[in-house]
Amino acid sequence: MPMTEQEYMDEERKYGIVAVVKNDKVLYYENRGTSEMLLTCPMCECEDVYCVEYSHFRLDTFNDASEGGVVLQQAKRIAENPLDKESDFTLFYGAKGSGKTHLLHAIWSEMRRLHPKWRVQCITAESFVDEFEAAAYIEELDAFHKRYNAYDALLIDDVDKLVGKEAAQTALFRMIDFKFIAEKPLVFTASTDTPAFCPRLQMRINVARKYELPLVTVDGSMPAKDGICHCPACGHSYPLFSSTKTK
């Protein structure tokens, strides 16, 4: 049977990976993009170790080339005061290499650090579409919307990649309206401030606070996609790709 809403959340919390099931058969596995995995501590065998990927993406390492540093100011405002009126809906846009992914994950990391009880979803537009289409295929769209509406904040990277995905755009339109009513913050990134969305979604995007990320030259490549693991039992911390074993 298709997974229940609670099973979706449990699997997402543990692994960031869930099985898409139809007629008691696993169709495929998909990554929810939560940037979390549940591991076993190599020191004390505790099974509640959380590894947060993208931990190298921090606000204090973001190279803000915007005039007056307004991009970083807005990012800090969102992370520190997500319920502030000026944090309700923000679109950061810029060319490839301008630091959009770095900034979005830095906001995600800082928001979770400052508001540990918040459920914050940070996901790529491609993963959002994959989840939506998988939910539609197994006739679980209600559960899909309930899960996304339950998040206290929603961050989507490269949201303009939803262009041409009309059904997914409609789903995002509904979520934006729900977040507005519930006063839950939204943070998107895109390559342009005017993606060619359907008219309804374009109207919603137009009310976002928009900040352009200038293209800057950096010395070196993107850090490896690693992470830092923390064991709540013994306090041991270690890199993701050390002697850890996934449950």
Per-residue pLDDT reduced to its tens digit, 89-110: 999 999 988 889 889 999 998 9
pLDDT tens, position by position, 103-155: 999 999 899 889 988 989 889 999 999 999 999 998 889 999 999 999 999 99
pLDDT of residue 47: 47
Alpha carbon of residue 174 to chain centroid: 18
- The bridge status of strand 153-157 relative to strand 120-124 is parallel
- How many angstroms separate the CA atoms of 149 and 130, rounded? 17
User: Do 220 and 125 touch, CB atoms closer than 8 A?
Assistant: no
| Mean pLDDT of the 152-170 span | 94
Average pLDDT across the chain, whole number: 75
What is the β-pairing status of strands 89-93 and 49-53? unpaired
- Within 8 A by CB and 6+ apart from 25, the residues are none
Under 8 Å between Cβ of 151 and 63: no
pLDDT at 186: 96
If one counts every other C-beta atom within 10 angstroms of the C-beta of residue 117, the result is 6
Instruction: Pick 131 or 231 by higher pLDDT.
Output: 131
Output the pTM of the full model. Answer: 0.69
